[in-house]
Amino acid sequence: MVENSQTASPGPQAGPSTRSVHAGEVRPRPHHALIEPIFQTSTYTFDSIADVIAYEAAHAAGRHTGVYEYGRYGNPTIAAAEARLAALENAESAILLASGMGALTTTFLAYLSAGDHIVITDDSYRRTRQFCQQFLARFNVDCTVVPLGDYEALEAAIRPQTRILFSETPSNPYLRILDLERFAEIGRRRNAFTVVDATLATPLNVRPLEWGIDLVIHSATKYLGGHNDLLAGVVAGNSEMIQPLRGLVGVLGGISDPNTAYLLLRGLKTLSVRVAHQNRTAQQIAGFLKEHPAVENVWYPGLKTHPGHELACRQMQGFGGLISFTVRADLQGTYRVIDALRIPYLSPSLGGAETLVLHPALMAYYDGSPEEKAQAGMVDNLIRLAVGLEDPQDLINDLDQALQVIC
């Protein structure tokens, strides 16, 4: 912590680009550096026993004074990233973890005990569902899966033991839209925490906390980092709810590291311009695909034909950079379309500068049973496109030539 330093956050009234660059920063930085330093250290020193006693007392009370003891319990570079992430979500606090799954599993482990119950929606990330249905069951935590958007089924699934309601918005890969206000109201009325994974939206397109959600989770690996070069996850919410996560991550050890935090801070500075470009590009591509004779269906919230379009217009500032579509072909024809693409990389993940293409049934459900694939809608002719920062027309031209192989 810099002596006589002061927070220079622009505040929630500032625009998204300003907050992406400056939110949560402290001025002046050590040696008046413009960029946040990387504090590459695993341990910290004290000047006296009195300083140790003061630190331990503050730590036990849950107060952070800018003093650190050991890398598993905090780091100034990580704290700077957490402050910016919290500001982008208009949250009181945020915690950075080693991955998006680390953020999610730590949250569930912090708030679920033996005998508790969790309700999740069916279009959630496959690994999330596996953790809830298989791993948590080993600790006598029960899980119920309900269709995303079926709020009567959600209400019916809640029990006196229900502790958490969890969903995603938009979901992956079909980009279903959760009614955040309704979801939050059900949670409050039924005494359950609401947790939403908003990775595909980013805080630039939707901020679930502003709609009453208790905790929001992101895989910072995706849009927040923005360059396909880091793994991280974040949970944001009020300080009272984040504090138990800080205590638990010190035990579980799923911490981030200062180099990752530095890369994340650098990526966040361009978040606003990147997401704006990806929103525009995806909208153009979705419109093109919708009219293409080789395309069967397109899922993108920005299209009026999308079942969640009106809700997305009410909740979101932009519709994101992910598009899913089915082609008029069998499995082998779908493979030929993907292989014919010249610009996108064939790869998992999303949110970076490079456009990526994925065959969900093969790459996300390779070891899934036919029943699991059918339940998740993993049809053979489904393609997922994660738009990057290339020129929209170049991507459209590339898609057009690739689709010609099945025309």
Question: Which one of 222, 246, 274, 384 is the catalytic residue?
Answer: 222
CA dist 209 and 83 (Å) reads: 16
For helices 258-268 and 76-88, angle between their N-to-C axes, nearest 10 degrees: 30
125 is catalytic: yes
HEC states along 272-290? HHHHHHHHHHHHHHHHHHH
373 is catalytic: no
In 242-396, where do the E strands start and end? 295-299, 322-327, 345-346, 356-358, 382-386
Task: For tokens 């024809």, name the residue.
Answer: 333
Residue 167 per-residue DSSP state: E
CA dist 206 and 81 (Å) reads: 20
Residues 122, 148 contacting (CB under 8 angstroms): yes
Sign of CA dihedral 356, 359, 363, 365: positive
Question: Which one of 125, 174, 223, 300 is the catalytic residue?
Answer: 125
197 is catalytic: yes
CA dist 125 and 180 (Å) reads: 18
Our CA dihedral for 143, 149, 151, 157, rounded to 10 degrees, sits at -10
CA atoms within 13 A on the CB side of 351: 26
Residues 277, 53 contacting (CB under 8 angstroms): no
Question: Which one of 116, 122, 197, 214 is the catalytic residue?
Answer: 197
User: Residue 117: in which H helix or E strand, if any?
Assistant: strand 117-121
Task: For tokens 């939050």, name the residue.
Answer: 184
CA dist 8 and 118 (Å) reads: 40
290 is catalytic: no
Residues 98, 106 contacting (CB under 8 angstroms): no
How many CB atoms are closer than 10 A to CB 199?
28
Active-site annotation, residues: 72, 125, 197, 222
